[in-house]
Amino acid sequence: GAGVSQSPSNKVTEKGKDVELRCDPISGHTALYWYRQSLGQGLEFLIYFQGNSAPDKSGLPSDRFSAERTGGSVSTLTIQRTQQEDSAVYLCASSGTEGNQPQHFGDGTRLSIL
Amino acid sequence: SQQGEEDPQALSIQEGENATMNCSYKTSINNLQWYRQNSGRGLVHLILIRSNEREKHSGRLRVTLDTSKKSSSLLITASRAADTASYFCAPRTGGFKTIFGAGTRLFVKA
């Protein structure tokens, strides 16, 4: 079946603009995760959803970052008033109904802020 | 949730050699997962070892877990150039939040 799909794969935008990143999880996966990965670094946890709710938003770097998930499926990560330090790869993953299950990742959105 | 710490940070070996990378963590776990990330791609789950297991095999991969030392190791036997990637461990303690470490960068020279 289809894996996790992220769009766009690349996004270049000017500082100060808003951007929306989209994630389509594997069908039936109730958990969805967002991570940020700077060049050559590990993954930084941003947020996870269980269904449509986000019990833990502690990883969001600032109030310019927000995420939502509708219908228990597609999720959107929005970054308002982008800054150059927001440049990174944003990875999405999904997993099944129980915690501790392996995560399935998309190939990410590479975001570049000019 | 807790973070695993991978060691070494980087490893360079010749094709055909074995590669061993380690993961340490701090508190008791439910299971520990290993992932691979090829350049420009997302992470791929390789293997999951439960806290009551000591060793697990998958093809050329062998994972061990020592809960008394709070450590795990990933062994890749007879490495290939295609094994060049970053490898991450994820100790899971329950729940969904997952903290990944900085990973081990493996470079396999042909």
The dihedral built from the CA positions of residue A84, A89, A94 and A98, taken in this order, carries a sign that is: negative
**Beta carbons within 10 angstroms of residue B32's beta carbon:** 27
Q: Tell me how close the Cα of A106 comes to any Cα of chain B, in angstroms.
A: 5
Q: Tell me how close the Cα of A54 comes to any Cα of chain B, in angstroms.
A: 11
Q: pLDDT tens digit string along B4-41? A: 899 999 999 999 999 999 999 998 999 999 999 999 99
Interface contact A93-B42, CB threshold 8 A: yes
Q: What SS3 state is found at B81?
A: helix
What are residue A85's phi and psi, to 5 degrees?
-70, -5
The amino acid at B33: Q
* Res A1 pLDDT > 70: no
Interface contact A43-B88, CB threshold 8 A: yes
Q: pLDDT tens digit string along A6-47? A: 999 999 999 999 999 999 999 999 999 999 999 888 899 999
Closest C-alpha to A6, from A76, A79, A61, A82: A76
Chain B residues within an 8 Å CB radius of A104: 45
Q: Pick from B45, B88, B98: which is nearest to A45 by CB?
A: B98
What's the CA gap between B46 and B33, in Å, rounded? 7
Provide the terminal-to-terminal Cα distance of chain B, rounded to the nearest Å: 38
What's the CA gap between A84 and A99, in Å, rounded? 34
User: What radius of gyration, in Å, describes the C-alpha atoms of chain A?
Assistant: 13
Ranking A7-16, A52-61, A75-84, B33-42 by mean pLDDT, the lowest is A52-61
